[in-house]
Structure 1
Amino acid sequence: MRYLWFALLALPFLLSPFPFYLTLLNFFALSGMVALSLYVLTGLAGMTSFAQAAFMGMGAYATALLTVKAGLSPWLGLLAGLGLSLLLALVLGGLTVRLKGHFLPLSTIAWQVALYILAGNLVWLTGGHTGLTDLPPLSLFGLPLDTGFRYALLSLFLLVLLVLALSNLRHSRLGRALLALRGDALAAASFGVDPASLRLKAFLLSGAIAGLAGFLYAHFLRFVNPTPFSLEASIKYLVMAVAGGVGSVPGVLLGAAFFTGLEDWLKDLLPLLLGRQGNYETIAYGLILALILLLAPKGLWPLLERRLPQREGRLPRAEPLSLSAPSGPRGEVVLAVEGLKKAFGGLLAVNGVSFALRRGEILALIGPNGAGKTTVFNLITGALPPDGGRVVLFGQEITGLPPQRVHRLGLGRTFQHPHLFPELSVLENAALGTYARTRAGFFSVLLGLFRQEEARALATAYGALKRVGLEGLALERAERLSVGQQRLLEIARLLASGAEVLLLDEPGAGLRAGEKRELAALLRSLAKEGYTVLLVDHDMDLIMGLADRVVVMNYGEKIAEGTPKEVQRNPAVRAAYLGEEEAA
């Protein structure tokens, strides 16, 4: 695939006798950059934006004002354009990335319309709808890029660089984390991802890419007015990305190429068919997009990709990240829960629950449905803030800390329903656990300077898979695993994270008898190595044969604590589970 991207650079030479097609090639390159910005924002991070044309406008107007009105170099205009695009992304992202559902796209529409109106009405600065003309051509090494052929060499070269950079991003700790955020922000936070911070960084990267496209657009046409940066233009770019397949780099570029050619063809064809001039291609876009999504819901590229030969993945061969066994005296308290309370409206879900978890033990938290067990898990891990009480981990109070900070202190969790990411391989799902133990940031990832750390992270993940018996499935897609294998994969992710305290929410749910025996053997082995386990499960045979101690809850309160035999004989427990009346 990588050779295909470099083949793009040969297109200007092949099309050099055809100036019209060179122009289309340049428009494809510019549209492809905006589509790539949507790949970062929507394909990876799962956010929908209708403001990409506004970022383009920032890049275009910044260089136009500096070169036309101030007479400065276009390359200073590039720096100013990227700076303004990043500033807009920082403001817009800071205000909107925490929004959920339809609020985020609606807010980007508002910003897009506001900036378009502003550009059209500041006549003294932007020239209004008449625009700014006579922008100077770009020049490289004294050679003016004043022909379609020369400009195509630059635009396609930058497009290929962006493709390679974003390919690096996808196959990095940040790419995995962004995909996890798109699927489940709470699960991502549970292994160390800061959702708001990472989404904002993705927003900044997306805005910078669109700003670069705007800069190139301005110096290609050497004219700027508000029309190319309208809401309609933003919708067009989003349609390109979605129709091609917004979840992959080849997909968004395929969409950009398809609609760039289609737009020109429709502008010539529709007036002939309808007998009048008008902006009818927008209606045609909608119909074509609807047809594509009916036939190929994930876009055109996944449809084509299934017919192409697939390259097999490779198992990691590197030294794993250092992973020492949990250390400390057995029996010391590693997690203390003191008087936890949580109410939802008038319902008191957790009322004064206290218990201690000691190093190397398996403690079970049990109770009838609705007893408040999962709520206790969420209070301990920071998924919910408590109304009262405190939680102490390794002697440090963690009450109310967000999940990503709790995880970094050595606590990991699984969920009642497996929180895996089907588009990632089994190995990549396990490697998500190494996020907090690795450091590569956006610059080093985009420049490809992260590969040694990435190889070690994957080797660590592979070792964790081997620990739970899933190494033979490392390169399979996670969606192909059975329920039992999914549970084991979640435990492997915890082991890869280096967490010492493991909170397992119904790890036996959906497992067959043999799988439960294997799970019990694994957990006993981990406890002997010094790991500490707190688990919730409804299978009493599993709990009573596995746990060292049991805490029983009912209606949000702790009603018993002791060894499995002690709680089995406890009248309050028998009353809660069997409906027996307690002795007077």
Structure 2
Amino acid sequence: MALKPQSLGLLVLAAAVPLVAVLPLPDFWITQLNYIGMYAMTALGLVLLTGVGGLTSFGQAAFVGIGAYTTAWLTLNLGVSPWITLFIGMVLTAASALVVGVITLRMSGHYLPLATIAWGLSLYYLMGNLDALGKYDGLLGIQSLSIGNFDIGQGRAFFVLTWFILLAFAAALLHLLDSRAGRAIRAIKSGPQMAEAMGISTFRYKVTIFVLAALSASVAGWLLAHFQRTVNPSAFGLKMGIEYLFMSVVGGVNYVWGAFVGAGLIKLMDDQLQVLLPRLIGTSGSYEVIVFGVMLVLVLKYLPDGLWSMVEKKLPRRPRAVDWQQAAPLPERNKPALGELVLDVDRIRKQFGGLTAVNDISFQIRAGQIVGLIGPNGAGKSTTFNLITGVLSLTSGTVSYRGRRVSGLPARAIAREGVSRTFQHVKMIPDMTVLENVALGAHTRGHKGVAAAMIRTNSDEERRLFREAQRQLERIGMGEYLHEQAGNLAMGPQRLMEIARALCADPALLLLDEPAAGLRHKEKQALAGVLRQLRDEGMSILLVEHDMDLVMQVCDHLVVMEFGTLLTQGTPEQIQQDPKVRAAYLGTEH
């Protein structure tokens, strides 16, 4: 199997590390590479947290400080081995990140960055005011790292250690991003609605990546403490928190290699500008901060995806090796018998303040039945969809699925029961392939988590997930789009992709929100054929659609809404003859 360019790059770098260590490079450049390695390690956490997960944090430097101060205090005061303090520091970092994450990650918008700024400042002043930590002078005389009598805490030996740890982190992150858990993390950035509809606990994954980012920073702090042999709060304050984020953004916060590029560029520029600018201006000062500020503005304007995005565009996009044909099929859920009551909507109501958007709507869906939910724009159809799927909470009434009340459950819990949906406005991850987007729909049918993905023990499950994704794409006639980037698709194929993704969840009830919008005539006819096939297989479908030709072709029962109320319901023939419907929606006869 051919290696991906990123994996090949890691292998090349891993092979180059020992070579660089024995080359006759000046010690100055080895020291620079050591700092770049530690900075890149911290920035990698921000690639996962900010670039992939869409969560902005200014508190990364504080977690570097926890790792550094833990090893410094334990080795100086208790004589604990530095190799043991690494793991103690990681435990303390994980615990603190978990507490901070649980408190702050429920926030959205600008509140999360502000909360991480407050966290970083709090820890900075705590470090600077504790006598046990040396206050603002810090802790001095930290021992160097060694294996037996061999000192590896400085120079070239430290370079090999740092860069092998960095490359191990990068490899683990690449493995994570190309996995079931990684696809779930990517979905968070697009907003919680789609991810929760796939059965993903967005809050749990947010906390997970926050902790992982903190752990990478903690290891960097451990290395930094033993490399400098001293720690003080200045290296872990808000300024460094901003600088780490700056490295990630300039290098390319969406890319693993962006952390390497950003850390290298900022470290080298920082050192050079501190020497050159005072000579040019004729006075000393932190003028490099001004240059970095201007540079950040230019990058955000002209290269919003960072410097590595230019390289990424030039790299060949090789299609994923198709190695799942012989994989075992995923287990299927127990389906209802033909004619069994699947969905019972009983007098549901939704009020937004004084506005009643849905007013006492009731209808039922049985296995093997397609029910159309129709009505003029603003009738409350999408709101009804969101009430059934748990996106919105009910003001009153109940929704039961296969005899169990599901109203009041979160969207992800309802999805896990076997209810799958598409959206009125297509929701997807544009920079993932069609295959990967569709595989996201099978999230609830897999079990391997973040740890399994990072150490690559999830390969068998991944093959099974991709086998199912390919099967569903071929089922709706999109087999040739497997390796196409989803963002390149026209609107019609995007909607079909959403249906394939919903089918990947192996639902007993499928809710389709305007699936024919943007489809050409032949695509609509193909869609109608797919819906009939699904009905014949015993699936229940709730369809919201404005295309009356399609509705009349495929639906067994129609529910007509007007201004949030139930106007009437019946067979397509009955609805076509109903004068109230013709007046309100289909138009009166002339």
Question: TM-score, structure 2 length as denominator?
Answer: 0.96
Give the partner amino acid of 2:262: G
Tell me if the contact between 2:433 and 2:484 (Cα under 8 Å) persists in the aligned partners. Answer: yes
Do residues 289 (structure 1) and 289 (structure 2) align? no
Do residues 364 (structure 1) and 372 (structure 2) align? yes
Question: Aligned partners of 1:350 and 1:306: how far apart in 2?
Answer: 48
**Deviations for 1:321-352, whole angstroms, at most 9, x for unmatched residues?**
32548733211111111110100111101111
Matches within 5 A, 1:233-244: 233-244=240-251
Tell me if the contact between 1:16 and 1:149 (Cα under 8 Å) persists in the aligned partners. Answer: no
Do residues 97 (structure 1) and 105 (structure 2) align? yes
How many angstroms does 1:432 deviate by?
0.2
State the percentage of identical aligned residues: 43
**Deviations for 1:501-521, whole angstroms, at most 9, x for unmatched residues?**
100001111212221111111
Question: Aligned partners of 1:198 and 1:358: how far apart in 2?
Answer: 35
Tell me if the contact between 1:9 and 1:156 (Cα under 8 Å) persists in the aligned partners. Answer: yes
CA spacing shift, 1:210–1:103, aligned 2, 3 Å: same
Matches within 5 A, 1:386-397: 386-397=394-405
- Match for residue 498 of structure 1? 506
- Match for residue 58 of structure 1? 66
Tell me if the contact between 2:42 and 2:60 (Cα under 8 Å) persists in the aligned partners. Answer: yes
Q: 1:445 aligns with which of 453, 460, 463?
A: 453
Give the partner amino acid of 1:486: Q
Q: 1:166 aligns with which of 152, 156, 173?
A: 173
Partner SS for 2:314:
coil
Q: 2:310 aligns with which of 299, 303, 312?
A: 303
- Match for residue 227 of structure 2? 220
Partner SS for 2:348:
strand
Matches within 5 A, 1:142-161: 142-161=149-168
For structure 1, the residue ranges without an aligned partner over 5 or more in a row are none
How many angstroms does 1:16 deviate by?
4.8
Partner SS for 1:497:
coil
Tell me if the contact between 1:32 and 1:159 (Cα under 8 Å) persists in the aligned partners. Answer: yes
Tell me if the contact between 1:316 and 1:458 (Cα under 8 Å) persists in the aligned partners. Answer: no
Segment drifting more, 313-322 vs 443-452: 313-322
- Match for residue 143 of structure 2? 136
Tell me if the contact between 2:144 and 2:154 (Cα under 8 Å) persists in the aligned partners. Answer: no
Give the partner amino acid of 2:318: R
- Match for residue 5 of structure 2? none
Question: Aligned partners of 1:212 and 1:365: how far apart in 2?
Answer: 55
- Match for residue 39 of structure 1? 47
- Match for residue 556 of structure 2? 548
**Deviations for 1:196-225, whole angstroms, at most 9, x for unmatched residues?**
111101111111111111111111101000
CA spacing shift, 1:453–1:142, aligned 2, 3 Å: farther
Tell me if the contact between 1:325 and 1:529 (Cα under 8 Å) persists in the aligned partners. Answer: no
Tell me if the contact between 2:153 and 2:226 (Cα under 8 Å) persists in the aligned partners. Answer: no
For structure 2, the residue ranges without an aligned partner over 5 or more in a row are 1-8
How many angstroms does 1:279 deviate by?
1.6
- Match for residue 208 of structure 1? 215
Do residues 483 (structure 1) and 491 (structure 2) align? yes
Do residues 193 (structure 1) and 204 (structure 2) align? no
CA spacing shift, 1:21–1:386, aligned 2, 3 Å: same
Segment drifting more, 65-74 vs 401-410: 65-74
Tell me if the contact between 2:559 and 2:568 (Cα under 8 Å) persists in the aligned partners. Answer: yes
How many angstroms does 1:575 deviate by?
2.8
CA spacing shift, 1:71–1:492, aligned 2, 3 Å: same
Give the partner amino acid of 2:230: F
Segment drifting more, 23-32 vs 493-502: 493-502
Do residues 533 (structure 1) and 541 (structure 2) align? yes
Aligned length: 580
Q: 2:252 aligns with which of 233, 241, 245?
A: 245
CA spacing shift, 1:579–1:244, aligned 2, 3 Å: same
Do residues 183 (structure 1) and 190 (structure 2) align? yes
Partner SS for 2:137:
coil
Tell me if the contact between 1:271 and 1:278 (Cα under 8 Å) persists in the aligned partners. Answer: yes
Question: Aligned partners of 2:581 and 2:385: how far apart in 1?
Answer: 21
